[in-house]
A and B are shown apart, each in its own frame.
Chain A
Amino acid sequence: MDEPVAATPRHRPRVGVFVCHCGINIAGVVKIPELMERVRRMSGVAVVKDYKYTCSDPGQQMIRDAIKDDKLERVVVACCSPTLHETTFRNACAEAGLNPYLCEIANIREHCAWVTADKDEATTKAEGIVSTVLRKAEADQPLEAVTVPITKRALVIGAGIAGIQSALDIANAGYEVVLVEKEPSIGGHMAQLSETFPTLDCSQCILTPRTVETGRHPKIKLLTYSEVESVSGYVGNFKVKIRRKARYVDFNACTGCGLCMEKCPGRAESSFERGMAKRKAIYRLLPQAVPNRPVIDANSCTYLTKGKCGVCAKICPTQAIRYDDQDTFVEEEVGAIVMATGYELLDAKKLGSYGVGTVPDVIDGLAFERLLSASGPTSGEVKRPSDGKTPKKVVFVQCAGSRDSTQGMPYCSKICCMYTAKQAILYRHRVHDGEATICYIDVRTPGKGFEEFYKRATDDGINYLRGKVSKIFRQGDKVVVWASDTLAGRKVELEADLVVLATAVIANPEGVALARKLKTQIDTHGFMTEAHPKLRPVETLTAGFFLAGCGQGPKDIPETVAQASAAAAKVLAMFGSTKLTHSPTVAVVDEEICVGCGNCERTCAYEAVKVDEKRGIAVVNAALCEGCGACAMSCPSGAMNHKNFTKKAIFEMADQF
């Protein structure tokens, strides 16, 4: 490490201050020549320069030249927020041979020019900001980035189309992927769909090549019917504990012949069929299940609950039934984690006036998909739940709980306009004399081919009625819908045989629970928060955790696949280097003073500092430390300090006022 160049009375480091105009963002408010004059008079300042757009190439060159020509030992750039260009200017300094951590940003834009109206006040404030940052720069020591090793294996949580895509991309690049899925087989909600918009591709037909490839990929370790229990460690070095739930079926002995399922007397509500059918106690989600191995649901199995039956064990040709199965735990070491926990639909019972739960012929979008699906409970024939008759009039209700700040979700669920148009088209394909009405507020068709698909729906005679539905109730064997025609300005009463609600897309509650357990960020609606909404949509603020799919927000299949590949690319970028670097402005313990009281450990939100019981002092894990400074503030003895944010430096900065 370099000799510390301390700010002692004998030698003050030579500081170069570079004032950026940022076009008129700063120069329009701060009087630049005045500011420069005042800065020039500050002690320690060797040179002051200004430039219109310092972040540009010539601007950076100016800094690099000044470092060499004026023998600068510290650099202060008075410009925009460090979140934007701190890295830019630190890189520029590094290229000129100056340690990047001796370069500091004085934010005179967001903290000054953008929030101050009066020019003189702004100029004085800018002067104050520069003078404090000047003191910090002088106190700075050269630092080297912390390096951590990387375990080049990835964990993907959730095996819907998002998790599958990420896992395949990472595995095809040659790295091992542990893919964890809580259901007995993979495919997520896409496996429940009949056809997809706007191409009307059969969902299973485009999904199964991926699921099969995933199932037999040599680099993908597929753990179905499993859940992540805990994650410890830090980016590049995670230890993951996974619960493998008891299947009661020996995975290797079972051949997937299906005899057990034929004979099983147990029944339970099938969550896959969304309430449209029941399943057996020993079951698989769908005929094309990957892996093709059933599991026993202990709650509905007569043998496991009452000790009677046992038919499946008797009939299994390979004696694969294991009634004494237990949950087991495995531990995996990975370097990166992709969260692809997906979505759910809002429980429509929350929409009290829509009759869900009391009127059997009011169902949600996914339930209707199961009725449309060839492998569904009615083999693709549209039959209504109450009496199995073919509905001749179907009313589709959009925005059932979306765009609703009072009873549902305030946001738009993005996919419903398109899938409702699709469902209406498919319904009319199956029932040629059927009548479909779609009650909507707006029709949102932003994707490729979407507007044309909407036209296809209206061309087919599907009635679009503009008005949000207020009430749905039963009248005899019909379902009455109170809607309105806002374009004609009147109330409308519709009579239907079946009503399909496009209920709001919500974050999968189990994904939300997992995010809370793993302490990754979620927003008020439970969707996972990206690091930056525009420029970093697949990363999180927790290093090593990436996002893909509807768990981050409602989106359709093409967007999900794109995002999943993007997340995989981020993982591969991490795996592409030999080591990871981490900012060195971390906490540091003075071991002579520390008594091991543990205040820092209790304060740390990142679990980055722990008291070593044997040595009786706190030890900082530099790879986990995010440099927030909370521990240094909570340390009663003053043993904890913060590299380049030392208490001495902070007091000197404060002294400027």
Chain B
Amino acid sequence: MQIPTGKALARQIEELSGQVVSDCYQCGCCTAGCPIGEDMDPPPSKAIRLLQLDRADELLKSSGIWMCASCLVCGTRCPRAVDYARIAEACRAIILRSRQSKVDPDTVTAPELEEIPQQAFIASFRKFSV
């Protein structure tokens, strides 16, 4: 599947996520509460800003959207009820549907496979692999 660009991309992200990006008034609470916030680039509020500024193409190339743990703190505390986790998932879905994986199951080592609970693998591959 071709990845759309520009306004079409922004529209698809909004449709897939069900979020109205213009509702965000850039307060930064999502970034402040994200447990991964220090390691996410761009962090949630900045990611939404990219969408607001019609720079969704840049967002899709970023590493931040692959750092979301879907813990939902961002959407729960947002004063405008904008859920960044769904937006990140929509961005990832668009890339995954173009048959591009982020996490390659083949790179998991045997010891890891032995030790890590399989629900972690299932969840990780569901979110990051294709």
Direct A–B contact present (CB less than 8 angstroms): yes
Q: Does B4 contact A (CB under 8 A)?
A: no
B97 contacts chain A at the CB level, 8 A cutoff: no
- Is A350's beta carbon under 8 Å from chain B? no
Q: Are A441 and B27 in contact (CB under 8 A)?
A: yes
Which residues of A (224-274) have their CB < 8 Å from a CB of B?
Answer: none
Q: Could you say which of B25, B31, B49 contacts A484, with CB atoms under 8 Å apart?
A: B31
B19 within 8 A of A: no
Cβ-closest chain A residue relative to B30? A470
Q: Which residue of B lies closest to A487 (CB)?
A: B28
B28 in contact with A353 (CB, 8 Å): no
Does B71 lie at the interface of the complex (its beta carbon under 8 Å from any beta carbon of A)? no
| Interface, chain B (partner A; CB < 8 A) | 25-34, 37-38, 42-43, 45-46, 49, 73, 77-81
Hey, which chain B residues are within 8 Å of A407, CB to CB? 77, 79
Residue of B nearest to A470 (CB): B33
- In the complex, residue of chain A having the shortest beta-carbon distance to the beta carbon of B39: A491
Docked-complex contact A491 and B80, CB < 8 angstroms: no
Whether A491 touches B79, Cβ cut-off 8 Å, given contacts A470-B73, A486-B26, is: no
Q: Is the CB–CB distance between A490 and B31 below 8 Å? A: yes
Chain B residues, Cβ within 8 Å of A555? none
Nearest residue, chain A, Cβ from B75 = A406
Quick check: is A517 within 8 A (CB to CB) of the other chain? no
11 contacts between A and B (CB under 8 A): A403-B79, A441-B27, A467-B29, A467-B31, A468-B27, A468-B29, A468-B32, A470-B77, A482-B32, A483-B32, A486-B26
How would you classify the secondary structure of chain A's contact residues: helix, strand, loop or mixed?
loop
- Interface pair B27/A486, CB less than 8 Å apart: yes
**Closest partner residue, chain A, to B40 (CB atom):** A491
Listed in ascending order, the chain A residues whose CB lies under 8 Å from chain B are: 353, 399, 403-408, 441, 466-471, 482-486, 489-492
* A467 engages B80 (CB within 8 Å): no
Name the distance in Å between A483's Cβ and chain B's nearest Cβ: 5
A407 and B77 CA atoms in complex are apart in Å by 8
CB distance from B22 to the nearest CB of A (A): 14
Chain A residue with minimal CB distance to B31?
A484
Q: Is A406's CB under 8 angstroms from B43's CB? A: no
Contacts of A399 in B (CB 8 A): 27, 79
Q: Whole-angstrom distance between the alpha carbons of A407 and B80 in the complex?
A: 10
Measured between C-beta atoms, what is the minimum distance from A653 to chain B in Å? 45
A483: B residues at CB distance < 8 A: 28, 32
Please measure, in the bound complex, the distance between the C-alpha atom of A407 and the C-alpha atom of B37, giving whole angstroms: 22
Q: Which of B28, B29, B43 has the most CB of A within 10 A?
A: B28
Which of A407, A441, A484, A485 has the largest count of B CB atoms less than 10 A from its CB? A484
A-B contacts besides A399-B79, A441-B25, A470-B73, 11 pairs, CB < 8 Å: A353-B33, A406-B81, A441-B28, A470-B29, A470-B33, A483-B32, A484-B28, A484-B31, A484-B37, A485-B28, A490-B46
Complex formed: what's the CA distance from A492 to B49 in Å?
Answer: 18
A469 touches B29 (CB 8 A): yes
Q: A491 to B32, Cβ gap below 8 A?
A: yes
Residues from chain B with Cβ under 8 Å of A469 in the complex: 29, 32
A489 touches B27 (CB 8 A): no
State whether B80 touches A405 (Cβ < 8 A).
Answer: yes
| Cβ distance A18 to chain B, nearest Cβ, rounded Å | 46
Instruction: Decide: A491 near B42, CB < 8 A? Known: A466-B28, A468-B27.
Output: no
Q: Write out the residue numbers on chain B whose beta carbons fall within 8 Å of the beta carbon of A441.
A: 25-28
Alpha-carbon distance between A483 and B79 when the two chains are bound, in angstroms = 15
Q: Is the pair A405, B79 in contact by a Cβ cutoff of 8 Å?
A: yes
Q: How far is the CA of A635 from the CA of B46 in the complex (A)?
A: 64
How many Å from the CB of A356 to the closest CB on chain B? 15
Q: How far is the CB of A409 from chain B (nearest CB, A)?
A: 10
Tell me, in angstroms, the Cα distance from A492 to B34 when the chains sit together.
Answer: 11
Q: Does the CB pair B77–A489 fall under 8 Å? A: no
Per the bound structure, the CA–CA distance linking A482 and B44 in Å amounts to 14
Assembled-state Cα–Cα distance A404/B81 (Å): 9
Task: Give the docked Cα–Cα distance between A467 and B33 (Å).
Answer: 11
Residues of A within 8 A of B37 (CB): 484, 490-491
* Neighbour of B31 across the interface among A353, A405, A406, A486, CB < 8 A: A486
Q: Are A492 and B32 in contact (CB under 8 A)?
A: yes
Q: Known contacts A467-B29, A468-B27, A470-B73: does B79 contact A408 (CB below 8 Å)?
A: yes
Query: A484, B32: Cβ atoms under 8 Å?
Result: yes
Of chain A, the residue at the smallest CB distance from B42 is A489
Residues on A with C-beta less than 8 A from B38 are 490-491
Nearest Cβ distance between residue A214 and chain B, in whole angstroms? 40
Residue of B nearest to A485 (CB): B28
Q: Within the assembled complex, what's the spacing in Å between the Cα atoms of A491 and B80? A: 19
- Inter-chain contact A468/B28, CB cutoff 8 Å: yes
User: CB-CB < 8 A to B27: which residues of A?
Assistant: 399, 403, 441, 467-468, 486
State the CA gap A609–B37 with chains docked (Å). Answer: 65
Question: Which residues on B sit within 8 Å (CB–CB) of A470?
Answer: 29-30, 32-33, 73, 77
Q: Of B77, B79, B80, which is within 8 A of A353 by CB?
A: B77
Contacts of B30 in A (CB 8 A): 470
Provide the residues of chain B in CB contact with A486, threshold 8 Å.
26-28, 31, 45-46
Name the distance in Å between B14's Cβ and chain A's nearest Cβ.
Answer: 19
Determine the distance from Cα of A492 to Cα of B38 in the docked complex, in whole angstroms: 8
6 nearest interchain CB pairs?
A470-B33, A467-B28, A491-B37, A470-B32, A404-B79, A484-B28
Task: Determine if B32 and A471 form an interchain contact, defined as CB atoms under 8 angstroms apart.
Answer: yes
Contact A489–B46 (Cβ < 8 Å): yes
| B29: A residues at CB distance < 8 A | 467-470, 484
Q: Which chain B positions have C-beta within 8 A of A485? A: 28
B78 adjacent to A406 (CB under 8 Å) = yes
CB closest chain-B residue, reference A404: B79
Q: How far is the CA of A167 from the CA of B78 in the complex (A)?
A: 43
B-chain residues with CB within 8 Å of residue A406 when the two chains form the complex: 78-81
